[in-house]
Amino acid sequence: MKSFDPETISIVDWKKINPSYKVHKSLNCPECGKCVSQFCSGCHSVGYCSKEHQKNHWLQGHKNECCAYKLVKKEGHGRILIVTRDIEPGEVIFEESPITVGPKQFCQPVCLGCYKNVNGTSICSGCNWPMCGNIECEKAPIHSKKECALLADCHLKPIIDLNKPEKDLPIYQFLTALRCLLVKEFRPDNWSILESMESHTELRKNEESYRVNQVNIVKFILERIKYDTTVEDINKCIDVMDVNAFEIRSHEFSIAGLYPMTAMMNSNCSPNTQNSIDENYICRVMAITRIPKGSEINSTYTRTLSGTLYRRNQLKESKYFDCKCERCCDPTELNSHFSTLLCQAILPSISKTCKGFVYSENSLNTNASWICRACGAVMSHEEVTELTQKLEVEIEKEFLTIDDYENFLKNRLLKFLHPNHYIIVDFKFILMKALSRAEYDPEIRIQREIRKKRIIEDILDVHSLITPGYFRIRAMLVSERCMVMMSIAFHNLSNSNKNEIFLEECERIIDGLEECVSILRFENTNSVEGQRYKACVNYIEKLKNIIEMR
């Protein structure tokens, strides 16, 4: 990750949605005053007499004013973002830099410049805190401008156990809150934005974590760091970060960043956008489906490949609201049956198990009964929870052979669960991993590849029902399928030497890889998704060369 300087950050897009920021539709070209013949395709608020004048006006400042969204109030939802024009899949709606970034509250020792894990062998020459050894990290503005001096003056530093350098250290808990407080000093305008963000402080006062934070963060900053601030401001920083921060990931670390515009989007368990944060800390919000003019822009703040009970509980605990999105309101989860069970009642007339679909009579009520839609049999929510929790534990156990995995899927999971159930999807990911293990018999290996391809397609079919569109997990699955298709194609070519069929398959694989590239193009190059993007680009080039050579 490159060096980050919070003092240089201006949250331009926040100003665009501020009520004081107004753009009036004009029928006269701002460059020459002539009648307009075309409007800005972004905001549709400014018109021009020519392309040349539109380009001039863009460079003169319209690029800082134009946006394809606006903030409105919706009854029962508060402030929401809606689009002011049709947005196409793959289109970037907005991008922004964070107000600040920092280590997660619970973390192992990390460098305060690049956030890589450290073992204490290198330290900052100013404050003696562990660093990675790169002088550029010591000079990073976010650390060197004031944080370093504050840490030096308090004469405290992490004590790292060299036998367990990966152990979480409580002393890091205050750091990101301190960085938020420094925003008030460096960028008062950004502090005003932070202050306006949702914190749920009153609700959080009832939690055990609140009491821990008063000692490990509030008291530490006031008494040990001796930073001139208030208890209220420190708690505001803690709560705003906990409620609104986004994870910034690479294969080397995971930190938190505060992106106010991105945090403005309401949650939806079948979202129409996803965000990607690159190595420059830029967060881009991209449409994953077509968003018609006037529609709300939404995102997801939970794991989409989870059932409704888990998602709603997790959102209630971490974000303090009861999700009532379309997917959560529908007991069938958009007809995906992602949480549906199979009825185990015995039908007296035929002495067989019913196998009808069982799902909640009210998915917004955790305590609601679950009813079979075929025979009317009823399960209590306690029975449902007991069954699903038991199966969730069972899928984690080790199986000796692929046949053992397959038998467990067929004879255990498919006995109780709809084929699209999230537990079966989770288990299919586990089975995919097992199928990828080394196998030296070419015939067995290719049969495993064929089975793996079928599993991927099963998951993609379910995924397209709950989160359709350009979602990153789709790209990861499609790229995995492309790798399998390549393996099968080369195997078939070596056995049959049918060049034309092989080339047709290569074209299909390229199409799939190009879809993945379009979805993953904004991912951090050091993240798993960013690495997959590079792999897809390389495979496209190789396959095109193969086609050209044959």
- Give the DSSP per-residue string, 297-310: PEE-SS-TTS-HHH
Residue 364: HSE in the Cβ half-sphere, 13 Å Cα cutoff: 9
Q: Is 401 a domain residue?
A: yes
Distance CA 118, CA 111 (A): 6
How much is the pLDDT for 37?
Answer: 81
240 and 107 part of one domain:
yes
In this structure, the number of other CB atoms found within 10 A of the CB of residue 59 comes to: 9
C-alpha to C-alpha distance for 444 and 446, rounded to whole angstroms: 6
Partnered with residue 356 across adjacent β-strands are: none
Whether residue 432 is found in the same domain as residue 322 = yes
pLDDT at site 23:
46
The reply to whether 375 and 412 lie within a common domain is yes
For residue 134, report the phi and psi dihedrals to the nearest 5 degrees. -85, 120
Q: What's the pLDDT score for residue 529?
A: 94
Of the pLDDT bands very low, low, confident and very high (cuts 50, 70, 90), residue 396 is: very high
Shared domain check, 428 and 380? yes
Interatomic CA distance for residues 245 and 101, integer angstroms = 9
Q: What does the pLDDT read at residue 43?
A: 66
Same domain, 534 and 407: no
Q: Among 234, 258, 282, identify where a domain stops.
A: 258
78-82, 232-236, 529-533: the lowest-pLDDT one: 78-82
464 in any annotated domain: no
User: Is the model's pLDDT at 503 over the cut of 90?
Assistant: yes
Closest CA to 271 of 305, 243, 241, 321: 305
Q: What is the pLDDT of residue 26?
A: 63
- pLDDT at residue number 71: 85
Looking at the predicted structure, is the pLDDT value of residue 58 above 90? Answer: no
Q: To which residue do tokens 């152990």 refer? A: 167
Q: What is the pLDDT of residues 314-323, one digit of tens each?
A: 999 999 999 9
Residue 88 covered by a domain: no
Nearest C-alpha neighbor of 537 from the set 455, 459, 461, 479: 479
- Identify the helix (H) or strand (E) that includes residue 273: strand 273-277
Q: Look at the block and give the residue holding tokens 């073992």.
A: 119
Question: Helical H runs in 355-441?
Answer: 381-394, 402-408, 414-416, 422-435
The per-residue pLDDT of the chain, averaged, comes to 92
Q: Each residue of 507-528: b (16+ CB within 10 Å) or e?
A: eebbebbebbbebbbbbbeebe
Q: Residues 514-544: pLDDT tens digits?
A: 999 999 999 999 899 999 999 999 999 999 9
pLDDT digits (tens, 9 = 90+) for 474-488: 999 999 999 999 999
Maximum Cα–Cα distance across the chain: 84
Q: How far is CA 198 from CA 101, 204, 265, in A?
A: 18, 12, 12
Q: Are residues 248 and 155 in the same domain?
A: yes
pLDDT tier for residue 428 given thresholds of 50, 70 and 90:
very high
The Cα 7–Cα 13 span in angstroms is 17
Helices (runs of H) and strands (runs of E) counted in the chain: 21, 18
Question: 227 lies in which domain range?
Answer: 101-258
Task: Return the minimum-mean-pLDDT range out of 33-37, 49-53, 294-298, 401-405.
Answer: 33-37
pLDDT (tens digit per residue) in 455-471: 999 999 999 999 999 99
pLDDT for position 65: 66
Q: Which of these, 91, 88, 96, lies nearest to 13 by C-alpha position?
A: 96
Q: What is the C-alpha to C-alpha distance for residues 89 and 271, in angstroms, rounded to an integer?
A: 12
The pLDDT of 173-183, averaged and rounded, is 97
Q: Provide the b/e sequence for 304-333 (b: ≥16 CB within 10 Å).
A: bbbbbbbbbeebeeebeeebebebbeebbb
Contacts (Cβ under 8 Å, ≥6 apart) of 347: 353, 354, 375
Are residues 249 and 335 located together in one domain of the fold? no
In a domain, 448, yes or no: no
pLDDT attached to residue 47: 85
pLDDT: is 361 or 162 the higher one? 361
- The pLDDT tens digits for 252-282 are 788 999 999 999 999 999 999 999 999 999 9
Q: Are residues 320 and 435 in the same domain?
A: yes
Say how far apart CA 330 and CA 308 lie, in whole Å.
Answer: 9
pLDDT above 60 for 22? no
pLDDT of residue 453: 98
The pLDDT score that the predictor gives to residue 21 is 46
Residue 295: the pLDDT is 95
Rounded CA separation 497/397 (Å): 42
d(CA 123, CA 452): 48
pLDDT for 44 beyond 70: no
Tokens (6 digits) for 145: 């401008």
The count of structural domains within the chain is: 4
- Give the torsion sign (CA, 475, 477, 479, 481): negative
DSSP 160-218: --TT-TTS--GGGGGHHHHHHHHHHHH-HHHHHHHHHS---HHHHTTSHHHHHHIIIII
Last residue of a domain, one of 422, 440, 458: 440
Burial 172-210 (b: 16+ CB within 10 A, else e): bbbbbbbbbbbbbebbeebbebbeebbbeeeebeeeeeb
- Tell me the two tokens of residue 380: 């209590």
The pLDDT-based confidence of 30 (bands split at 50, 70, 90) is confident
Report the CATH number that the domain containing residue 545 is assigned in CATH: 1.20.58
- 198 domain residue, yes or no: yes
Answer whether residue 414 is part of any domain. yes
Residue 42 reports pLDDT greater than 90:
no
pLDDT of residue 77: 72
Whether residue 433 is found in the same domain as residue 480: no
Element (H, E) at 15: helix 12-17
Average of per-residue pLDDT across 368-379: 97
Residues 347 and 228 in one domain: no
463, part of any domain = no
Same structural domain, 494 and 370: no
Among 418, 480, 486, smallest CA distance to 455 is for: 480
For 146-150, which contacts have Cβ atoms below 8 Å and span 24 or more sequence positions? 146/182, 146/185, 147/112, 147/175, 147/178, 147/179, 147/182, 148/124, 150/178, 150/225, 150/227
Asked if residue 344 is part of any domain, the answer here is yes
Both 335 and 383 in one domain: the answer is yes
